[in-house]
Amino acid sequence: MSIVLPPEHLQKVLGYTFSEQRLIKQALTHRSFASTHNERLEFVGDAVLNAVVGRSLYIHFPKLNEGELSRLRASLVRQESLANVASELNLGDYLWLGEGELKSGGHRRPSILADALEAIFGAAWLDGGFEAAQSIIERLFVSRIESIDPARALKDPKTALQEWLQARHHALPLYEVVRQEGESPNLVFEMSCSIPALKVTTLAQGPSRRSAEQLAAGEALGMLKEKYPGKAPRRA
């Protein structure tokens, strides 16, 4: 059996110590491990996360309209983004998972990591009120929000990559399904994004084909900008 780290260190990283330790333990328990698990806490955490992130975006970007704020919030609270935050916390090392999930690498699965992170937010809200959850969320998201460039963030990666290539008269990228595994709601798609003329190919995983394509496109665009920082190649 994999060794699960105790939650005390995680609470130091979060900057909050739970009065009711059973809540943080429940937040870290997957349904495959016990009947008392984190799904109900996840439901509560999703609500407080949207509220806190929405408030922060409202304050930081006073010139953006409601639709633009909604798109930015969606990009910050989507599964991939939450899984990235969870990975930075090494959250998978603290999760209680059933034997099947352990064997299949559940402690690295984006859906499990994202759900556990939301469950922690929900547990903090129940333990210390809205301000407790808000303090944790702002601690984890403030730098991400402050670093947002709305002009770039509001354009999805596939569109940005397409425009970059079209401006240089190159063919559109090719997207292919490399791998698909699991069952709903834990599907995992691996997609490739290739630009043969520029010898660039990237791979990315996501819970849907579209999300994996977007991630692969973003990585491809980043590679192109790094590979051609100055005058980019144009097709004759």
Residues 132, 100 share a domain: yes
Domain end (from 100, 122, 149)? 149
Whether 236 is covered by a domain: the verdict is no
Whether 235 is covered by a domain: the verdict is no
- Distance of alpha carbon 64 from alpha carbon 187, whole angstroms: 34
Hey, how many other C-beta atoms are within 10 angstroms of the C-beta on 183?
6
Q: What is the average pLDDT value for the chain, to the nearest integer?
A: 91
Catalytic residues: 46, 118
- pLDDT band, very low/low/confident/very high, at 230 (cuts 50, 70, 90): low
At 69, which amino acid appears? L
Residue 94 predicted with pLDDT over 60: yes
- What pLDDT, on a 0 to 100 scale, did the predictor assign at position 125? 98
Domain end (from 149, 172, 204)? 149
Helix 110-128 × helix 130-146 angle, to 10°: 130
- What pLDDT, on a 0 to 100 scale, did the predictor assign at position 106? 87
- Does 115 belong to an annotated binding site? yes
CB 142 within 8 A of CB 60: no
- Percent of all residues in the chain with a pLDDT value above 90, rounded to a whole number: 67
- What pLDDT, on a 0 to 100 scale, did the predictor assign at position 218? 86
Residues 136, 120 share a domain: yes
What CATH number is given to the structural domain containing 112? 1.10.1520.10
pTM above 0.75, yes or no: no
- What pLDDT, on a 0 to 100 scale, did the predictor assign at position 233? 64
Residues 31, 79 share a domain: yes
Q: Is the dihedral of CA 200, 204, 208, 210 positive or negative?
A: negative
Helix 66-77 × helix 79-88 angle, to 10°: 50
Range of the domain at 191: 157-227
Residue 231 predicted with pLDDT over 80: no
- Does 118 belong to an annotated binding site? yes
Q: Which residue has the higher pLDDT, 141 or 160?
A: 141
Residues 116, 21 share a domain: yes
- Does 42 belong to an annotated binding site? yes
At 68, which amino acid appears? E
pLDDT tens figures, 12-54: 999 999 999 999 999 999 999 999 999 999 999 999 999 999 9
Q: What is the mean predicted confidence (pLDDT) over 136-157?
A: 89
Domain count, the chain: 2
